[in-house]
Amino acid sequence: MKTFALAALSGYTSAIGFGIMEGMDFKFINYIAKFNKYYEDRGELELRFDEFVKTELTIQEHNSDPSQTSTMGHNIFSDWT
């Protein structure tokens, strides 16, 4: 099952080309593997990727603020709405 997700993500990466999203794709692939994620089809994969990117940007913004006394990171829910 995980094979489908990785193959679909690979195709998705090829479709959007290379560039700034290449690093985010790599993070998302690692996230899928770490939390043993499975997506039913390409539509769900794209939705979950978009949610993961939103979460990643929130994490980066929070962690780059020197006034924060805590740090954020990804967890099993990072691809949820």
Looking at the domain assignment, is residue 71 inside a domain? no
Predicted TM-score (pTM) of this structure: 0.73
Looking at the domain assignment, is residue 47 inside a domain? yes
Looking at the domain assignment, is residue 25 inside a domain? yes
Q: How many domains does the chain have?
A: 1
Looking at the domain assignment, is residue 72 inside a domain? no
Looking at the domain assignment, is residue 76 inside a domain? no
| Predicted pLDDT of residue 12 | 55
**Model confidence band, residue 13 (pLDDT cutoffs 50, 70, 90):** low
| Predicted pLDDT of residue 36 | 97
**Residue 4 pLDDT greater than 60, yes or no:** no
First to last CA, the chain: 22
Sorted by sequence, the CB contacts under 8 Å of residue 79 that are 6+ apart come out as 31, 37, 48, 49, 51, 52, 55
Digit-coded pLDDT (tens) for 18-42 = 455 578 999 999 999 999 999 999 9
Question: What 3 state SS string does 8-47 have?
Answer: HHHHHHHHHCCCCHHHHHHHHHHHHHHCCCCCCCHHHHHH
Domain coverage including residue 31: 2-64
Say which residue, 14 or 57, is predicted with more confidence: 57
